Structure formats: structure tokens, C-alpha cells
Amino acid sequence: MAALYGAQALSPEFKRARGTNQKDQRRQEILDCAARLMAQRDYATLSVQLIAQEAGIVKGTLYLYFKTKEELFLSLHLRESLNLLELWALRIASMEDWGLLPKVSAELLAEHSLVMKLLVITNQILEHNITFEKAQEFKWALHRGLLALGGQVEERLGWMKPGQGVGFISHLLFYAMGLWPACDQAPIIKEVYAAEPQLGLAVPDFSSHLEQAASWFLEGMSRG
């Protein structure tokens, strides 16, 4: 019995990562699995058990890396959001002129549907059932990322006052969070609109509406 148990414990689907690098790698693999599932389904339909199965581990092993479902998805949110902020900075740096900022920003957020899906459930769901340390880590990491991107916006545009870059990014993200649920219809509703396009005439286009909002924000700031 002991030999059988030992063999099972060393099998690929049950083996635990030993070193720090292996643990980090396994942690990222779990987040990758959660990202794939979240891209296909709603948060409410995802369970820790399902994510563990997707990752090829048992549920108990997953809890060694993330204490709760909320902590897991908050970690995914942080990883994907920091990647988004970094890419946003790169695109701003390559802009030909600052007038492209609304279009560049709107298109980028539209491309990152996973970040948008996580953003809209952050306050009411993901920031609950987590430890103080995890909440603090999340907020500080995003804070640093937003400050860096905001500073680059101010430098690129030239006319902005200190702090207005972060203000622009924050306002745009808040607007996007409110707009996203109206644009992200359920699969069955998408089928209805595809069959009868006239029924979807009032549904806003996420990218174009966000671009218009970004233009309004910048116009208001330039006048102030």
C-alpha cells in the first residue's frame, strides 16, 4: 500500500512542484488554465475543481498556490492588467502624434476582453474573500503601473499637468467598465442579433464608443 501510494504521489498529475522556480511555473500554468476557461465562460460558472482539472492537478494541490477562487482570479487580473499597461505604454511611445491616443487606447482595451471581463467583477467579487496582504499587493502593483503609464501619457502629450495622465487612464477605464457589460452579450443573444441584425441596432460598439469618450476626456483636460 505504501509503495502504491508513493507511486501515485509521484505521477505527473499529482506531483507537486519542489523548488521556487518550479512553484512559480506551476502557479503561472494554473493562471493560464484559468485564463483559457474565463475566455470561454462566465466567472460564476467556473469552479476551483474545474480549473484544477484543466491544470491536471487535484483540487487540494491548487489550494497550495491560491487560497480561494477570488485570490486566483485576482492574481490573474493583476498579471493580465500589468501586461496590458506595459503594452499600452509601448503603443503610446510609438504613436505618430498625440491625436491618436483615443484610438490607440480604445482599440487596445477592445483587444483585451479578458481584462475587461475581470475588471467589471473586481470590486463586487474579486476583492472579497482575500487576505489583507493579497489586497495590498494587488493595489500597490496596479498603482505603480498606472503611475508609470500616466507619466508616459503626460510626457508624450506635453501639455498635461502632473497627475492628469493617471486621471485620463483612470477615467477611460471606469468608462470602459460601465460600457463593457452592454457590449458583451450572451452567446444566445449574439445568435439572435446575427439572425436578425435590426434587433441589435441599439447595441453600442465598444471600441468606437470608448474612442469617442477618450476624445471627450482629452478635450476637457486640454481646456482646463
Confidence (pLDDT) at 21: 87
More confident residue, 107 or 98: 107
State the pLDDT confidence band at 5, using cuts at 50, 70 and 90.
very low
State the pLDDT confidence band at 222, using cuts at 50, 70 and 90.
confident
Q: Give the integer Cα–Cα distance in Å for 8 and 13.
A: 9
State the pLDDT confidence band at 98, using cuts at 50, 70 and 90.
confident
Tell me if 185 sits within 8 A of 203, measured CB to CB.
yes
Mean pLDDT (the chain, rounded)? 89
Q: Taking residues 49-67, what's their average pLDDT?
A: 96
Q: What percent of the chain has pLDDT over 70?
A: 91
State the pLDDT confidence band at 1, using cuts at 50, 70 and 90.
very low
Tell me if 38 sits within 8 A of 117, measured CB to CB.
yes
Phi and psi dihedrals of 177, rounded to 5?
-65, -35
* Confidence check: pLDDT of 3 > 60: no
For the ranges 98-102, 178-182, 220-224, the lowest mean pLDDT is seen at: 220-224
Question: Model confidence over 130-177: pLDDT tens digits?
Answer: 999 999 999 999 999 999 999 999 998 989 999 999 999 999 999 999
Q: Which one-letter DSSP state was computed for residue 57?
A: S
Question: Model confidence over 175-198: pLDDT tens digits?
Answer: 999 999 999 888 898 899 889 988
Question: Model confidence over 8-22: pLDDT tens digits?
Answer: 333 333 344 445 688
SS3 126: helix
State the pLDDT confidence band at 81, using cuts at 50, 70 and 90.
very high
Confidence (pLDDT) at 2: 34
Q: 91: Cβ–Cβ under 8 A, 6 or more apart, which residues?
A: 104, 108
Q: Taking residues 99-117, what's their average pLDDT?
A: 96
Query: Cβ–Cβ contacts within 10 Å for residue 94, how many?
Result: 9
